[in-house]
């Protein structure tokens, strides 16, 4: 479904209508032919679909009225951005699914009680990545003084994109998880931390990554990104 903003005419449009997709990048709006995605039915896709189905049933059949009310209150207090960059407010159900589908697919416990802090976890401005062809490792730098790092049940979850040619300037998938860094009330996890790459990398390739912070109370940050060129 396309999302359209009207002014003196159509001043902004995002999404697909019939065979045409409307989008925007740093150079402005553009239109391209719509491509129909394939359905490879991967293990991850199955896991996501299963999580959505189970959480939808859990919202209606397991959560109490008080728990649903708490999620609705959280949703009405937390501003989000749509595809056009406009401020919108999701429903409590949307936030419950958004937070817990991410947690369930990652193997983290479901959070049924609605958050009582009415804001998303902030992005980490220190987040940076480095890749090595020789070691086939990614080194992740982050701020371990932030609240999640000392919180049991909180995670810094990291994803790597497939490597691209050095001249490429845009990337939006595919992504694979390189794992998570768990908060620890006994002491923050070390930074930087190195681990195996999700996609094999080669010198001078450009690699995009993103991270999200999942707090123990169910709040989930927006994606925040970093990119770099792979070292030898």
| Mean pLDDT of the 91-109 span | 91
Q: What is the CATH number of the domain that holds 152?
A: 2.60.40
Identify the DSSP state of 188. P
What share of the chain has pLDDT > 70, as a percent? 82
Q: Are residues 92 and 171 in the same domain?
A: no
Alpha carbon distance 37, 34 (integer Å): 9
- Residue 99 corresponds to which tokens in the numbers above? 């937070």
Asked whether residue 116 is domain-assigned, the answer is no
Q: Determine the structural domain holding residue 151 and report its residue range.
A: 128-229
Asked whether residue 202 is domain-assigned, the answer is yes
Asked whether residue 201 is domain-assigned, the answer is yes
Query: What pLDDT is attached to residue 25?
Result: 61
Give me the number of domains the chain comprises: 3
Residue count of the chain: 232
Asked whether residue 123 is domain-assigned, the answer is no
Asked whether residue 112 is domain-assigned, the answer is no
Asked whether residue 203 is domain-assigned, the answer is yes
Residue 4 has pLDDT above 80, yes or no: no
Q: Are residues 51 and 142 in the same domain?
A: no
Q: Are residues 212 and 187 in the same domain?
A: yes
Ranges 20-24, 64-68, 138-142, 162-166: which has the least confidence = 20-24
Asked whether residue 114 is domain-assigned, the answer is no
Q: Are residues 7 and 52 in the same domain?
A: no
Distances (CA, A) of 24 to 29, 31, 80, 94: 4, 8, 18, 25
What share of the chain has pLDDT > 90, as a percent? 66
Q: Are residues 191 and 144 in the same domain?
A: yes
- Name the β-bridge partners of 128: 141
Query: What pLDDT is attached to residue 20?
Result: 74
Strand boundaries in the chain, DSSP class E: 3-6, 10-17, 20-25, 28-33, 80-81, 87-88, 128-132, 137-141, 155-161, 175-182, 193-196, 206-214, 224-229
Q: What is the dihedral of CA 85, 99, 118, 126, to 10 degrees?
A: -70
Q: Are residues 12 and 49 in the same domain?
A: no
Asked whether residue 144 is domain-assigned, the answer is yes
Query: What pLDDT is attached to residue 186?
Result: 95
Is residue 150 helix, strand or coil? helix
Query: What pLDDT is attached to residue 82?
Result: 80
Q: Are residues 191 and 147 in the same domain?
A: yes
Query: What pLDDT is attached to residue 30?
Result: 62
Query: What pLDDT is attached to residue 187?
Result: 94
Alpha carbon distance 33, 65 (integer Å): 45
> In this structure, are residues 102 and 214 in contact, taking their beta carbons and an 8 Å threshold?
yes
Residue 85 has pLDDT above 90, yes or no: no
Q: Are residues 156 and 214 in the same domain?
A: yes
Q: Are residues 26 and 50 in the same domain?
A: no
- With both helix axes pointing from N to C terminus, report the angle between 92-106 and 43-61 in degrees, rounded to the nearest 10: 140
Mean pLDDT of the chain: 88
Q: Are residues 155 and 87 in the same domain?
A: no
Residue 74 has pLDDT above 80, yes or no: yes
- Residue 52 corresponds to which tokens in the numbers above? 């959505």
| Mean pLDDT of the 80-108 span | 88
Identify the DSSP state of 162. P
- Residue 215 corresponds to which tokens in the numbers above? 């707090």
Query: What pLDDT is attached to residue 45?
Result: 74
Q: Are residues 51 and 88 in the same domain?
A: yes
Q: Are residues 55 and 11 in the same domain?
A: no
pLDDT tens, residue by residue, 10-64 = 656 667 776 677 666 655 666 666 766 666 666 667 777 888 889 999 999 999 9
Query: What pLDDT is attached to residue 38?
Result: 61
Q: Sheet containing 155-161: which strands, arranged edge to edge? A: 175-182, 155-161, 206-214, 224-229
Residue 146 has pLDDT above 90, yes or no: yes
Task: Give the position of tokens 């553009």.
Answer: 30
Residue 206 has pLDDT above 70, yes or no: yes
| Mean pLDDT of the 68-90 span | 90
């Amino acid at each position: 479904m396309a999302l359209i903003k009207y002014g003196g005419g159509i001043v902004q449009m995002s999404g697909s209508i019939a065979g045409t997709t409307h989008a925007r990048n740093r150079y402005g709006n553009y239109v391209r032919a719509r491509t129909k995605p394939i359905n490879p039915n991967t293990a991850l896709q199955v896991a996501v679909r299963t999580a959505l189905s189970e959480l939808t049933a859990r919202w209606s059949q397991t959560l109490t009225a008080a728990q649903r009310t708490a999620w609705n209150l959280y949703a009405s207090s937390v501003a989000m951005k749509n595809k056009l960059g406009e401020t919108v407010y999701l429903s409590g159900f949307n936030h419950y699914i958004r937070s817990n589908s991410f947690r369930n697919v990652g193997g983290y416990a479901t959070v049924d009680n609605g958050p009582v802090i009415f804001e998303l976890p902030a992005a980490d401005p220190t987040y940076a990545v480095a890749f090595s062809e020789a070691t086939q490792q990614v080194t992740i730098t982050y701020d371990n003084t932030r609240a999640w790092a000392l919180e049991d049940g909180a995670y810094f979850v990291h994803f790597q994109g497939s490597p691209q040619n050095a001249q490429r300037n845009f990337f939006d998938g595919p992504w694979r998880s390189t794992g998570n860094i768990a908060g620890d009330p006994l002491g923050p996890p070390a930074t930087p931390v190195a681990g195996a790459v999700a996609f094999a990398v080669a010198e001078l390739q450009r690699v995009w990554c993103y991270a999200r912070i999942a707090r123990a109370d169910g709040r989930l940050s927006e994606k925040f990104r970093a990119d770099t060129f792979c070292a030898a």
